Amino acid sequence: MLKFVDTKEVFAEIPDEITLAISISGCPIRCKGCHSKYLWEDVGDELTVEVLSQMLESHVGVTCVCFMGGDNDPAEVNRLAAWTKQHSGMNIAWYSGRDEIADEIELCNFDYLKIGRYDAERGPLNTKGTNQILWRVRHADGKNELEDSTHRFWK
């Protein structure tokens, strides 16, 4: 079961998207220098399809839904992403602290995947030396191909 703490409409998480960012608690990654330590604990409300449906109805104009965390249960992130994609038609993103895409993730359910634990020495996504990657998932001809879009954050 995934729990979420809050939601925010943001403009900087995914390039060219108005994103509904859903902050998921229970993070097992616990990066040194994490800016969201409040998400380490297992707190908040259960994230269900009913709750997602209410979120989507109350956030008009959003073009992307981003699951921020959920590394404690990638299979559930994948399931909720599939439901959201099918019922909203929006782009779907997942911000994961893992260094690899979790095996439970089906690329067809996502349009963006940000992976990589935060490394203070290498910086966040908007730093050219970052270890984090933003993948754009391109869906074409029945295939799902990953395109590195990290450079979109660089100034």
18-32 pLDDT tens trace:
999 999 999 999 988
18-68 pLDDT tens trace:
999 999 999 999 988 888 889 999 999 999 999 999 999 999 899 999 999
111-143 pLDDT tens trace:
999 999 999 999 889 999 999 999 999 998 889
Q: What is the pTM of this model?
A: 0.95
The candidate with the shortest Cα–Cα distance to 48, out of 72, 22, 71, 13, is: 22
pLDDT of 71 > 90? The answer is yes
Q: How many Cβ atoms are within 10 Å of 71's Cβ, its own excluded? A: 19
The candidate with the shortest Cα–Cα distance to 67, out of 85, 50, 89, is: 85
Output the six-digit token pair for 29. Answer: 């990654």
